[in-house]
Structure 1
C-alpha cells in the first residue's frame, strides 16, 4: 500500500512526474528486502519463478528508460510513444497507475539492464523476449531515427536477453529500411532458392505466431501480432518480386 500513498502524495506536490516517482519509490519500499542486492534496480517477487504482471510492467518501464536515454538525451517523442502505447494497451486508469513520465525516474534511479534481463530470462519464454526487444526498437525509432548509440544499447540488451544475432538483425530490419529488408526479416540471403524462401517463411511464422507468446502482458501480446504481420508482409514482398505462387 506504500506505493499508492506515495503516488498520491507525489501527484499532489509534483503532479504527474511526482506520481510516477512516488509509485516507483513506494514499490521499492514495499519490496525492499528482495529487490536491492547490488548492481541497480530490478523489480521482482523473490518467491515466484514466473514474472507477475506488476513485476513485468515495472521492469519493462525500466528498460524503456534505458533506451530513451541511450543517445544521451531524453526525447519527448519517445516518452510520448511509451505513454501512448501503455494507454492504448491497458486503458487510461491502469496505464496512469503505472506510468506518467520517466523524467524523475531517469534522473534519480540507477537501472541495471543486465540484472533486469537476467530476471526476465529466468521467467519468460524466448518468444516473449523477442517481442520485448521489438517493443524497445519501436521506442528508439519513435523520433524517426535510430542512432548508433541506441542500436548499440539495443544490441547489448539483446545479448542480456539471450536473443540470437539472426533474430536481432531480423527485428532491426523491421525498423531500418534497406533494399534487402524483406530477406533480413526472414533471416535469409537474396541468393536463396524459392523453396528456401518458403521454408524460411514457415519457420518465421511459427517462431513469431502470437499463440507462441505466452504472457499476461497485453503490450507484449500486441507486439507479437505486429511482428507477425511484418513477417507476412516480408514474404508477400518476396513473393511479388519473384513471382512465387
Structure 2
C-alpha cells in the first residue's frame, strides 16, 4: 500500500513538472513570436526616420573622423526644421538608445527598398547630399559612401548624376540635371524637361514624410531652374 502511495506521489510530481515545462515552453514561444512581430512587423514612420538619421550619421563620419559639432548641429537643425523640435528630439533620443546595436548599411537600405518607392529613395539621396555639402563641397569619402548608398537603394546612375549635379557649381550642370549633354538639341531639351517634370513631381512621392517631401520639392525646383537657365542661354 505504501509503495502504491509513493508511486502515485511520484507520478503526480512528474505530471506537475511536465505541465510546468509545457507552459514555460509555450510562454517562450509566445514571447519569441511577439518579438518577431515587433522586429518584422509593419514599417512605421519612426522606422523611416531612424533609418534616415542612421544614414546621415554614416555620411558625416565617412572620412573616419568624429563629426564636428557644426555637422551634428546641422543634422539636428535639418530634423527640427522637418519634424518639429519635440519629434526631432524623440528621434535623436531613440537613435542614441539603439546606435550601439549598429545596423549595417545594407540592412538599412534593404528596409528602405522594401517600404518606400523609387521617388522617395531618390529624395533620400538628395537629402544626404544636402547634409554632406554643409561646408560648400562634398568630400571624397562622403561622395564614395553616398554612391554606395545609392547602389544599395537601386537608384539608376543617370538619376544619381542628376542629383549630384545639383550640389556642384560646374559649367554644364544644368544639362546634367536634365540628363543631357551640352550638345543636346532644343527638341531634346524640351522633351527631357517634360519627362523630368512627370517623373519627379512631388505629387508622385507616396509618403507624408517631411524629409522626403522637402527633398522632392527642392529637386523639382532645381529641375525648373536648370531648364530656365538653358532657355535663357539658348534663347528659346
If the length of structure 1 is used for normalisation, what is the TM-score? 0.77
| Contact 2:59–2:146, Cα closer than 8 Å, also in 1 | yes
Q: CA deviation at 1:177?
A: 1.5
Match of 1:227 in 2: 219
CA distance change for structure 1 residues 180 and 101 in 2, over 3 Å: closer, same or farther?
farther
- The 2-side partners of 1:227 and 1:57 are apart by 20
Unaligned runs of 5+ in 1: 1-31, 36-43
Counterpart selection for 2:71 from 65, 78, 100: 78
Match of 1:47 in 2: 41
| Residue pairs, 1:1-245, within 5 angstroms | 33-34=35-36, 45-48=39-42, 51-73=43-65, 74-99=67-92, 108-244=100-236
| Contact 1:45–1:55, Cα closer than 8 Å, also in 2 | no
Structure number with greater Rg is 2
Q: CA deviation at 1:104?
A: 8.7
1:125-154 Cα shifts (integer Å, max 9, x gaps) = 000000011001111111222111111100
- The 2-side partners of 1:214 and 1:104 are apart by 29
Q: CA deviation at 1:111?
A: 3.2
**Which secondary structure state, in structure 2, belongs to the residue aligned with residue 99 of structure 1?**
helix
Q: CA deviation at 1:187?
A: 0.6
CA distance change for structure 1 residues 100 and 75 in 2, over 3 Å: closer, same or farther?
farther
- The 1-side partners of 2:55 and 2:170 are apart by 27
Give the alignment's Cα RMSD to 1 decimal. 2.2
**Which secondary structure state, in structure 1, belongs to the residue aligned with residue 135 of structure 2?**
coil
